[in-house]
Amino acid sequence: MIGAITLTALLLAPADTLIFSGAEGQLEVRPAFEAAPDIQVDGRLDEVEWSRAAVLSGFTQYEPVEGIPASENTEVRVFYSTDAIYFGIRAYDSDPAGILARLGERDRVVFGDDWVRIMLDTFDDQRQAYVFYVNPLGLQTDGLWIEGFSRGGGFGMMGGGGVSIDFNPDFIWESDGGVDEEGWAAEIRVPYVSLRFREVPVQTWGIQVAREVKRRGFKQSWAPLTQEVSSTLAQSGRLVGLRDLRSKRLVEINPVVTGTRLGSVSTASGVFERESPEPDFGLNGRVGLTQNLVLDGTYNPDFSQVEADANQLTVNERFALSFPERRPFFLEGVEIFNTPTRLVYTRQIIDPLAGAKLTGKVGSVNMGLISSLDESPSSIGGGQGHAAFNLFRARKDIGRGSTVGILYTDRTAVSAVSPEYNRVLAGDARLVVGGRYTLTGQFAGSVDRDSADVEGSGVRPMARMQVQRSGRSFSWDVGVTDVAPGFRTRSGFVTRVGETEANAGITLTRFGRAGAVLERTSARIMYNNFFIHDEFWDGVGPYESEVELWPTFSFRGDRSVTFVLRNGYFRFQPDDYGSYALQAADGSTLPFVTPEPLRYMKAWGFMPRMRITNNLNVNGRAFFREVPIYREGGRGYEIQAGPDVQYRPTDQLQLALNYTYSRIRRADGALSETVYSTVHQPRIRVQYQFNKSVFARAVIQHELEERAGLTDPATGLPILIYGAPRPTVSTGESMMQFLL
């Protein structure tokens, strides 16, 4: 039995074994050095090296209640050698039968199972850390913990004071584990070739260890964590005295050969005719120039293994929607390009023919460079030729947690037909004050030349400022973003151009007693205002405003429900309807009158999150809200609802169902209570895990959209746009994807 062997190893530990209790503040760890460890990574802590390792113990809970002793004991042993660092996990559990441990796809294990997470801040700068998760079977999830930038809404921003975990990198490391009568155990070996660190004789790394007992919803950490401090990494412990770390230079070459064979039914003979096979070749490579600088290259990359985008609602949107980047070349190492505003959005590079990427850290400066040739005609305004993208980013660390940075993006047409280009230069700063307050700012300017060889009138500016205060029971944030008319970023994603946004928010949190059914109650109050840029500076009020309340109740057993209450205001803009006219009954045209502002637009809804059993999770959403029907200039009532079900009938089979339903009814005028639009979006995902490395996945999704012809709410007359009516539209689209 694994448990028996592990227990024997622990009992044989010498009396002078160093034990470091996080609860007692023993956070500076000097791990043992093993010159030639003989470790087989099999989840069995039975080698003699583990008896000499430093032991991290004394975990405390940080969710849902801070600062109390952990509900289950955890010990993590650590030692290092010249080429790798080793961790041995002993996660005790009073109810081993309740441990959640199943086979699954890499980077998804943290969402449904018990786990332990190792965080290594190899530069000890409290800005970024490697994260290594294992579940009780040793399945891996890894990524980068990034302090300072978390995704927000509005203008497609990256919030200035939060945290994000980038799960896109897949590092090279070993792990294995198993469940026994005492809980579960796991072994981890991380070679230095997967890590970046300073090239100095003696190293100090930040370290944090966390664990979640999934069935109870309890999270605990070795170094105590509190929300009173804005930085998680600033609360970490230290691995000190690391010497003689030797890392081989990273070299990876991955040739790709694909084949395509097309066929179609002949219109003349009615016979299905196949064309000749068309082979295709691609190449991906990676070279470690130094311990901290990595050069990636790709030629004719193949992204066929990338999972298809999930459908999004577009029936009543004014702005373009963003989709997550899933292509490997544009994922790994690009966290350096995160800034308070999303000025780098690599989905703008639609069909790359070739690309190069340099990322790393030199001294206290993080840097990144991406160059890519996009051969998609749609990347050029005229629809002809290719586009060359060059993106450069540098960010310097200042003090403990503060940074300053610059960003330059250039998208230039590679064509004699189209001389267009778009260039953006930006500077940003993040200042952490007193461990609780974060000030973030960014200023940028863009210059353009379009396909008609017309150069934009000078530099178009953009600016963002934000102040945040973090806290366990009380936090707040205030921000302003101003984007001048004509500002463009063809390498990024900024949709609200020519507008100014001002927002403020307060979050109040109350924690229940240890063991209480209601573990936590929080309320988020937000006040958002959107102005036309020129009107803002002339002192005119907002054209869109909303006040929102988001109370959340978290219950024992990993269950919660969030409610939404909102009141809003919207003023239609005459410029948006300059091409509109009305068609009278006699065929003549009448002018379209800009509608009156919409006041007191109410909304309410709720979002439950429930773990029904260890194998069944059900989430959902249901909203009722008054909305502007932008294309008609009227008020509408929208119902939007749908479930999100995750079911695992066996340890190897995963089923996921997501369904979105939306219906908008006209709320006033001549067509009151008639349906403007209806959308159905079902999505099914089925995955079977043969073992830790091999799986088969199928994704099926469908979208059915029906939208009524555009009609003037005041008169009931058909709307003409550039002299043409917009009739009823009914569309359906299906997608099936299979991957082995």
- CATH number for position 102: 2.60.40.1190
Which residues, in sequence order, are CB contacts of 628 under 8 Å at separation 6+? Answer: 570, 572, 598, 601, 634, 635, 636
Per-residue confidence band for 7, with pLDDT thresholds at 50, 70 and 90: very low
Q: Is residue 670 part of a domain?
A: no
**What pLDDT shows up at residue 4?**
37
Mean of pLDDT values over 269-296:
83
Higher pLDDT, 500 or 382: 500
Whole-angstrom Cα distance, residue 541 to residue 725? 34
Residue 591: is its pLDDT beyond 70? yes
Burial class (CB in 10 A: 0-12, 13-18, 19+), 734: exposed
User: In the chain, what percentage of residues exceed pLDDT 70?
Assistant: 92
**What pLDDT shows up at residue 408?**
98
Mean of pLDDT values over 162-178:
84
The residues that bridge with 476 in the sheet, in sequence order, are 469, 506
Per-residue confidence band for 152, with pLDDT thresholds at 50, 70 and 90: very low
**What pLDDT shows up at residue 1?**
37
Which residues, in sequence order, are CB contacts of 452 under 8 Å at separation 6+? Answer: none
> Both 82 and 226 in a single domain?
yes
> Both 224 and 347 in a single domain?
no
> Both 227 and 357 in a single domain?
no
Residue 551: is its pLDDT beyond 70? yes
Q: Is residue 178 part of a domain?
A: yes
What domain range includes position 110? 2-243
Higher pLDDT, 436 or 409: 409
Whole-angstrom Cα distance, residue 434 to residue 399? 12
Per-residue confidence band for 331, with pLDDT thresholds at 50, 70 and 90: confident
Domain closes at, from 430, 461, 496: 496
Q: Is residue 625 part of a domain?
A: no
User: In the chain, what percentage of residues exceed pLDDT 90?
Assistant: 61
Helices (H), 561-711: none
User: Which DSSP category does 98 fall into?
Assistant: G
Residue 2: is its pLDDT beyond 70? no
Closest CA relative to residue 220, chosen from 209, 230, 231, 235: 209
Closest CA relative to residue 566, chosen from 553, 579, 584, 550: 550
> Both 355 and 238 in a single domain?
no
Mean of pLDDT values over 279-284:
85
Closest CA relative to residue 415, chosen from 373, 445, 447, 448: 373
Coil, strand or helix at 346: helix
Whole-angstrom Cα distance, residue 278 to residue 290? 39
The residues that bridge with 721 in the sheet, in sequence order, are 580, 724
Please give the torsion angle defined by the CA atoms of residues 198, 287, 176 and 63, in that order, rounded to the nearest 10 degrees: 50
**What pLDDT shows up at residue 327?**
86
Give the amino acid at 105: E
**What pLDDT shows up at residue 322?**
84
Burial 97-128 (b: 16+ CB within 10 A, else e): eebbbbbbeebebbebbbbbbbbbbbbbbbbb
| Count of alpha carbons within 13 angstroms of residue 666, beta-carbon side | 23
Mean of pLDDT values over 463-488:
94
Higher pLDDT, 628 or 375: 628
Higher pLDDT, 216 or 467: 467
Mean of pLDDT values over 150-163:
37
**What pLDDT shows up at residue 382?**
55
**What pLDDT shows up at residue 383?**
55
Domain closes at, from 448, 470, 496: 496
Lowest mean pLDDT among 5-14, 17-26, 71-80, 369-378: 5-14
Give the amino acid at 410: D
Mean pLDDT of the chain: 88
**What pLDDT shows up at residue 635?**
94
**What pLDDT shows up at residue 308?**
78
Report the greatest alpha carbon distance in the chain. Answer: 99
**What pLDDT shows up at residue 453?**
54
Q: Is residue 223 part of a domain?
A: yes
Domain closes at, from 496, 521, 551: 496
> Both 234 and 339 in a single domain?
no
Q: What's the number of domains the chain is made of? A: 2
Give the amino acid at 349: I
Q: Is residue 144 part of a domain?
A: yes
Q: Is residue 397 part of a domain?
A: yes
State the pTM of this model. 0.83
Per-residue confidence band for 386, with pLDDT thresholds at 50, 70 and 90: confident
Whole-angstrom Cα distance, residue 734 to residue 303? 20
Higher pLDDT, 337 or 257: 337
> Both 239 and 339 in a single domain?
no
Residue 454: is its pLDDT beyond 60? no
> Both 361 and 478 in a single domain?
yes
**What pLDDT shows up at residue 34?**
94
Whole-angstrom Cα distance, residue 481 to residue 493? 14
**What pLDDT shows up at residue 418?**
62
User: Which DSSP category does 304 fall into?
Assistant: T
Closest CA relative to residue 87, chosen from 128, 116, 112: 116
289-314 per-position pLDDT tens digit: 888 889 999 998 888 777 778 888 88
576 backbone dihedrals φ, ψ, rounded to 5°: -70, -15
Closest CA relative to residue 115, chosen from 79, 148, 143, 84: 143
> Both 357 and 476 in a single domain?
yes
Whole-angstrom Cα distance, residue 71 to residue 45? 23
Q: Is residue 503 part of a domain?
A: no
Whole-angstrom Cα distance, residue 437 to residue 441? 14
Whole-angstrom Cα distance, residue 389 to residue 374? 8
Q: What value, to the nearest 5°, has the Cα angle with vertex 236 and ends 235 and 242?
A: 150
Q: Which residue has the tokens 């899933």?
A: 326
Mean of pLDDT values over 16-28:
88
The residues that bridge with 644 in the sheet, in sequence order, are 619, 658
Residue 628: is its pLDDT beyond 60? yes
Question: Six-digit token pair at 181?
Answer: 């009568």
Mean of pLDDT values over 644-667:
93
Per-residue confidence band for 666, with pLDDT thresholds at 50, 70 and 90: very high
Whole-angstrom Cα distance, residue 421 to residue 736? 37
Q: Is residue 111 part of a domain?
A: yes
**What pLDDT shows up at residue 48?**
94
> Both 337 and 440 in a single domain?
yes
Closest CA relative to residue 39, chosen from 55, 31, 50, 30: 50
> Both 236 and 351 in a single domain?
no
**What pLDDT shows up at residue 455?**
54
